[in-house]
């Protein structure tokens, strides 16, 4: 158990809808990362937050947004969903610097 | 730009064979870290090892060993006497620090199947 909690485990929704994925980092970790894993793109970095502030952005679409709250949990919001957004979304947390990222079990999103 | 290449998409071996997973990386940074993660069929990503760019010592942990060679920009992972439970997708990753943030770039992964 990595200590990172992601909910829900599975999400099935229709195109055009909006969903929210939630992540609770390991106790003591200030950084939260979001990754998307799809069959054709592999593991793609989306966005990182550190102690409530956005720290780095990767290949995150404008339809996607995220935030980290004062209690350090994070939410990833996906809107105007398309079939191609179907993927496994991982949240990871770390202490700082080059610390290893510890990943949650992921949320599997299916857009129909 | 940083890049990680895992040329082996899939490997299939019989139990008890030794198997090596290759990882080649590209970066212009002199300070970086390399990682290996395991993704078993259940889907979670499990951290296996971290190695910094200044430490080229090989590491052994039980049946697992890692060979880091800066001269060839490689960080290969060997499983000795493989077991069925080793079946998983293995990811190599490169981390550099840029603009105040750690950027972790993953390779495409190698799917390892250990057959009984």
Structure tokens at B63: 């049946």
User: In B, which residues are within 8 Å of A38 by CB distance?
Assistant: none
Average pLDDT estimate for B88-95: 96
Average pLDDT estimate for B73-101: 93
Please report the number of interchain residue pairs, chain A to chain B, with beta-carbon separation below 8 angstroms: 59
Among partner residues A42, A100, A105, which is closest to B108 by beta-carbon distance? A42
3-state secondary structure of A103: strand
- Nearest chain A Cα distance for residue B80, angstroms: 24
Beta strands in chain B (DSSP E): 3-5, 10-14, 19-21, 24-26, 33-39, 46-52, 59-61, 64-69, 74-79, 88-98, 101-106, 110-115
Of B31, B45, B38, the C-alpha closest to B102 is B31
Q: Which residue of A has its CA nearest to B50?
A: A100
The answer to whether residue A104 neighbours chain B at the CB level (below 8 Å) is yes
Average pLDDT estimate for B87-110: 90
C-alpha A107: how far from its chain's center?
8
Can you tell me the distance from the alpha carbon of B81 to that of B33, in angstroms, rounded to the nearest whole number?
A: 27
User: Where does residue A5 rank: exposed (0-12), middle (13-18), buried (19+ CB within 10 A)?
Assistant: middle
- Nearest chain A Cα distance for residue B33, angstroms: 7
**What are the per-10-residue average pLDDT scores of chain A (112 residues)?**
93 97 96 91 90 90 96 97 96 86 95 96
Structure tokens at B45: 């990503």
Render pLDDT for B2-61 as a digit per residue (tens, 0 to 9): 899 999 999 999 999 999 999 999 999 999 999 999 999 988 999 999 999 998 888 888
Amino acid A62: pLDDT: 95
The answer to whether residue A105 neighbours chain B at the CB level (below 8 Å) is yes
Cβ A26 vs Cβ A3: under 8 Å: yes
Q: Report CA-CA distances (Å) from B24 to A87, B47, B59.
A: 26, 19, 17
Cβ B95 vs Cβ B104: under 8 Å: yes
Q: Report CA-CA distances (Å) from B67 to A1, A13, B71.
A: 27, 44, 12
Rg (CA), chain B: 14
The answer to whether residue B99 neighbours chain A at the CB level (below 8 Å) is yes
Cβ B75 vs Cβ B66: under 8 Å: yes
């Amino acid at each position: 158990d990595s200590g990172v909690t992601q909910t829900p485990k599975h999400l099935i929704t229709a195109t055009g809808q909006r969903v929210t994925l939630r992540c609770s980092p390991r106790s003591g970790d200030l950084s939260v990362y979001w990754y998307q894993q799809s069959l054709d793109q592999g593991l793609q970095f989306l966005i990182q937050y550190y102690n409530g502030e956005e720290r780095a952005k990767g290949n995150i679409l404008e339809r996607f947004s995220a935030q980290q709250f004062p209690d350090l949990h994070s939410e990833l919001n996906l809107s105007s969903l398309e079939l191609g957004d179907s993927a496994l979304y991982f949240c990871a947390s770390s202490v700082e610097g080059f610390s290893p990222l510890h990943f949650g079990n992921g949320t599997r999103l299916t857009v129909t | 730009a940083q890049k990680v290449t895992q040329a082996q998409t899939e490997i299939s071996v019989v139990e008890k064979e030794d198997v090596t997973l290759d990882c080649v990386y590209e970066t212009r940074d002199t300070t970086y870290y390399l990682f290996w993660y395991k993704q078993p069929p259940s889907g979670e990503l499990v951290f296996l090892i971290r190695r910094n760019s200044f430490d080229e010592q090989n590491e052994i942990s039980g049946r697992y060993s890692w060979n880091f060679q800066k001269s060839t920009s490689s960080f290969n992972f060997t499983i000795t006497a493989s077991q069925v439970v080793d079946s998983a997708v293995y990811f190599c990753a490169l981390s550099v620090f840029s603009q105040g943030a750690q950027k972790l770039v993953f390779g495409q992964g190698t799917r390892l199947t250990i057959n009984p």
